[in-house]
Structure 1
Amino acid sequence: MKAGVIYATGDIRYADFPDPSCGADDIIVKVAACGICGSDSPRILSGWKYPLPGVPGHEFSGTVVEIGKNVKNFKAEDKVAVQPFIPCCSCDNCRTGYVSMCDGAQMIGADMPGGYAEYCRVPATNAVVLGDVNITEAALLEPCAVSLYGVLGIEPVLGDTVAILGCGTIGQLALKWFRIAGVRRIIAVDISPTKLAEARALGADECVNGLEQDTVEAILELTHGKGVDIAMETAGSKITQEQCLLVAKKRGKVGFLGIARSDILLREKSFESIFRHELTLRGFWNSYSAPFPGPAWMKSIEAFQDGTIDFKPFISHKFPLSKVTDVFEMIQGRKEEYNKILFVMDEEGGKA
């Protein structure tokens, strides 16, 4: 089959790769679309630590084309969403329901070949039948579940004011979920006018451009000096990761969804805010809980199926897989601004 194959850090090419073999408890999925996760580009371009050659990609959807002999709940041509996280199901965290904290998990698209390919082997326990949906857009179910996992975990209350620091795909999806959860006011923060315009279109009440304003001062002014009930960090920037501590109100909550890319040295005022204001800090990793794959996944699927969340506004680019090298050169060179990029297997690519 054809795949986006990584041969070394920074070396990813459209090439032949062995077809997947279906085990007794597996299904083979014909990939319809696979998204580029915010974690994919730094791993592929700066520090790949998984088997080589490999096939990245963990945000994908497709149709079932082969079924293992022990698998009962799927049939050929079923449209499925894939959960790429494979828990061990035997460690203490798995047994107590904290599946995202599994001590022995493996990941499709890292430890084993993933969705930058025509076909992918998936344990049958890691797929959910979707029914009659747009199977290309279904590739966004994984980031949608990641966002909802954080929103569920931070426990918003009806009428809350929330600041979302970072308006990429995860931040925008979190914005949608916070609105669905009944928060009263959402303040969106980013350094991109395009991202802020997208956040406004998705329902943000106020927008703060961190390049043009002092983010902390702007949010405190908007909240009459009190701060927000919830500060949710989704950018993975050491700047916003610190700012969250300064914009949460006394006894407020801070959620961290963005991945750290560098060391963070907190100023005295920022660190003191944690204990002087008795802040609650929560980190959120992946999107899984019991019963696997968990409420974040199942609620995301339901919201996609019934149209509560429309994924179209989040997709900025679609490319054929044959453009995989060009796409990562575009990302590395910051040649274009983008939101969610999809590799779509049966369509011509370009801006969505």
Structure 2
Amino acid sequence: MKAAVLHSENHFIYEEIDIAPCQDDEVKIKVIATGICGSDTHKMTGKWKYPLPAVMGHEFSGYIVEKGKNVTNAAIGDRVVAIPFLPCNDCEYCKRGQFSLCEDHGMVGSKSFGGFAEYVNIESSNVLPIGDMEFEEAAMIEPLAVALHGVLNIHPRVGDVAAVFGVGTIGMLTIQWLKIAGAKEIIAIDLSDEKLADARAMGCERTINPLNEDLLEKINEYTNGMGVDIAFECAGSKITQEQCLLITRKQGKIGYLGIAYSDVHLSEKAFENIFRRELTLKGFWNSYSAPFPGEEWTKSIEFIKNGRIKLKELISHRFKLEDTQKAFDMMINREEKYGKVLILPNEE
């Protein structure tokens, strides 16, 4: 099959590779759409930690073209989304159903070959049916489930005022889930006026660009000096990771979805707020719960199907499989404004 093979940091070669036979408990997916995750581009500018050569891509959908003899939950022709996380099912956390905390998990797209390829073999327990959902939308179920994992576990209350730092894909999906969960008002915070305009179009009542406005002054203005009930950090910036602690009201809650890519040093004021305001801080990793893969995935599929979640509006670019290098160069070098970027290995 053809694949975009990673040979070193941000060095992809479009080439022919062998795909292993489909094992007894596996299905073979013909990949139609694969998303590029924000973490993928960060891995290209840092240190790749996994075996090389590699085939990335952990957000993908397609249909089944082959299945092993033991597979009973899927059939050839089924339209499916892939669940890239492979829990060991043996560690203490897996036995508790806390799969996101698995101590020895596999991961399609890093530890094993992923969706920047024409086909992927995966255990049949790691696919869910999508019915007639568009494949491009289905390729965004994984990040949608990540956002829902955070929102479900921060336990928002009807009428909450929330702030979302960073309105890239995860931020925009978090905004939509907060709306569904009953947030009265959402304040989007980003350095891009264009992204803030997108957030307003998605239903954010207020926006703040800290390059042009004083963040604390605007938060105080919008909340009558109280601060927000919930702050979500979706930017993965050491600056915003601290700012969450400055804008949240007493006994408010902070959810960290963005990955820390450098050391985070807190000011005295930010650290004091944790205990003086009795803040609750929660980190969220991946998107899984029991029964695997969890309600984060099943509810995501349900809400897409009933039209409650907007996904296609977030897609900005589509690239052929052979142009995977161009896609990463565009994103890493910020050659164009982009939202969600998809690779289409098998255009149909």
Q: TM-score range by the shorter chain?
A: over 0.9
1:71 partner letter: V
Are the counterparts in 2 of residues 6 and 44 from structure 1 also a CA contact under 8 Å?
no
Which residue number in structure 2 is paired with residue 271 of structure 1?
A: 271
Are the counterparts in 1 of residues 116 and 345 from structure 2 also a CA contact under 8 Å?
no
Question: Structure 2 length as normaliser, TM-score?
Answer: 0.98
SS at the partner of 2:313?
helix
Shift of 1:10: 2.3
Shift of 1:332: 2.1
Are the counterparts in 2 of residues 165 and 188 from structure 1 also a CA contact under 8 Å?
yes
Are the counterparts in 1 of residues 10 and 325 from structure 2 also a CA contact under 8 Å?
no
Which residue number in structure 2 is paired with residue 44 of structure 1?
A: 44
Distance (Å, rounded) in 1 between the aligned partners of 2:13 and 2:42: 16
Distance (Å, rounded) in 1 between the aligned partners of 2:29 and 2:291: 23
Distance (Å, rounded) in 2 between the aligned partners of 1:67 and 1:305: 26
2:204 aligned with 1:204, yes or no?
A: yes
Distance (Å, rounded) in 1 between the aligned partners of 2:217 and 2:231: 14
Q: Share of identical aligned residues, percent?
A: 51
Shift of 1:129: 1.1
Distance (Å, rounded) in 2 between the aligned partners of 1:158 and 1:193: 29
- State which drifts further: 216-225 or 142-151: 216-225
Shift of 1:182: 0.9
SS at the partner of 2:224?
coil
Which residue number in structure 2 is paired with residue 64 of structure 1?
A: 64
Are the counterparts in 2 of residues 188 and 196 from structure 1 also a CA contact under 8 Å?
yes
SS at the partner of 2:38?
coil
Which residue number in structure 2 is paired with residue 334 of structure 1?
A: 334
Which residue number in structure 2 is paired with residue 102 of structure 1?
A: 102
Shift of 1:67: 0.3
2:51 partner letter: P
2:175 aligned with 1:152, yes or no?
A: no
Shift of 1:214: 2.0
Shift of 1:178: 0.4
Distance (Å, rounded) in 2 between the aligned partners of 1:45 and 1:16: 26
Distance (Å, rounded) in 1 between the aligned partners of 2:142 and 2:232: 19
Shift of 1:136: 2.2
Segments of 5+ residues of structure 2 without an aligned counterpart are none
Which residue number in structure 2 is paired with residue 258 of structure 1?
A: 258
- State which drifts further: 44-53 or 320-329: 44-53
Are the counterparts in 2 of residues 159 and 183 from structure 1 also a CA contact under 8 Å?
yes
Shift of 1:101: 0.2
Which residue number in structure 2 is paired with residue 219 of structure 1?
A: 219
Distance (Å, rounded) in 1 between the aligned partners of 2:285 and 2:314: 22
Distance (Å, rounded) in 1 between the aligned partners of 2:329 and 2:339: 16
Residues 55/9 of structure 1: CA separation in 2 closer, same or farther (3 Å cut): same
Shift of 1:39: 0.5
1:243 partner letter: Q
Which residue number in structure 2 is paired with residue 318 of structure 1?
A: 318
Shift of 1:184: 0.4
1:122 partner letter: I
Which residue number in structure 2 is paired with residue 10 of structure 1?
A: 10
Are the counterparts in 2 of residues 9 and 44 from structure 1 also a CA contact under 8 Å?
yes
Q: For 1:274-313, list aligned pairs within 5 A.
A: 274-313=274-313
Distance (Å, rounded) in 2 between the aligned partners of 1:270 and 1:73: 50
Which residue number in structure 2 is paired with residue 116 of structure 1?
A: 116
Residues 252/74 of structure 1: CA separation in 2 closer, same or farther (3 Å cut): same
Q: What whole-Å deviation, never above 9, does each CA across 1:179-210 have from its counterpart, x for those lacking one? A: 01111010000011111011101110000012
2:65 partner letter: V
Question: Structure 1 length as normaliser, TM-score?
Answer: 0.97
Which residue number in structure 1 is paired with residue 137 of structure 2?
A: 137
Shift of 1:337: 1.3
Shift of 1:218: 1.4
SS at the partner of 2:28?
strand
Are the counterparts in 2 of residues 20 and 28 from structure 1 also a CA contact under 8 Å?
no
Distance (Å, rounded) in 1 between the aligned partners of 2:255 and 2:272: 17
Which residue number in structure 2 is paired with residue 87 of structure 1?
A: 87
Distance (Å, rounded) in 2 between the aligned partners of 1:92 and 1:217: 46
Segments of 5+ residues of structure 1 without an aligned counterpart are none
Shift of 1:19: 1.9
Instruction: Point out 4+ residue stretches in structure 1 off by more than 4 angstroms.
Output: none
Are the counterparts in 2 of residues 147 and 174 from structure 1 also a CA contact under 8 Å?
yes
Which residue number in structure 1 is paired with residue 125 of structure 2?
A: 125
Q: What whole-Å deviation, never above 9, does each CA across 1:161-184 have from its counterpart, x for those lacking one? A: 000011000000000000011110
Which residue number in structure 2 is paired with residue 77 of structure 1?
A: 77
Distance (Å, rounded) in 1 between the aligned partners of 2:330 and 2:284: 29
Q: What whole-Å deviation, never above 9, does each CA across 1:50-91 have from its counterpart, x for those lacking one? A: 111110000000100010110011111100011100000111
Are the counterparts in 1 of residues 8 and 53 from structure 2 also a CA contact under 8 Å?
yes
1:334 partner letter: R
Which residue number in structure 1 is paired with residue 173 of structure 2?
A: 173
1:176 partner letter: Q
SS at the partner of 2:236?
coil
Distance (Å, rounded) in 1 between the aligned partners of 2:327 and 2:46: 15
Are the counterparts in 1 of residues 136 and 312 from structure 2 also a CA contact under 8 Å?
no
